[in-house]
Amino acid sequence: MTRAVLALGSNLGDRWATLRGGVEHLLTGAGAPAPVALSPVYETAPVGGPEQGAYLNAVVVVETDGTPGELLERAQAAERAFDRVREVRWGPRTLDVDVIAFGDVRSDDPVLTLPHPRAHLRAFVLRPWLDADPGAELPGRGPLADLLAAVEAADTGGEQKLRRRDDLRLFPPGGTR
């Protein structure tokens, strides 16, 4: 089994229902990875791209016996289930699911670069992941706590400010609500 990290975000439609549905889609069905940890939900401003609304973001840590490509296909299937449209890079989306890390795999494959090439620069990935897995490290980059501290120190304009939404809590399929 390999530990992998998925980051989810939604800023169109019913963001909360979509985030919950995305988790459900990712973690159920044949070949589904086993949940290890689900992060708290954060509300974040968009980073890059056109003017758009705030995101709800979360991270899911899983164990899988599948391949990175199979996990990417599962992530893309979840996006399709929630009518994800890819028209504008970094544009608004119903559901975005990124494979952030897959064990210690490092790959420059343009279809799936691992670890995610911008994860170390994004508080909306680092903070929830750190909450879900406090001792985690981003392969080739180091401990999440150090990476997050560097992002926060560099964010003098507050563009990556996060607001933890303790009123919204994710659970694995079949988990207590």
Positions marked active-site: 84, 93, 96, 98
Taking alpha carbons only, the member of 20, 76, 71, 28 closest to residue 10 is 20
The C-alpha atoms of residue 18 and residue 27 are separated, in whole angstroms, by: 14
Q: How far is CA 67 from CA 32, 99, 126, 162, in A?
A: 12, 12, 23, 32
The C-alpha atoms of residue 149 and residue 35 are separated, in whole angstroms, by: 27
Helices marked H in the chain:
15-26, 68-81, 123-132, 144-154
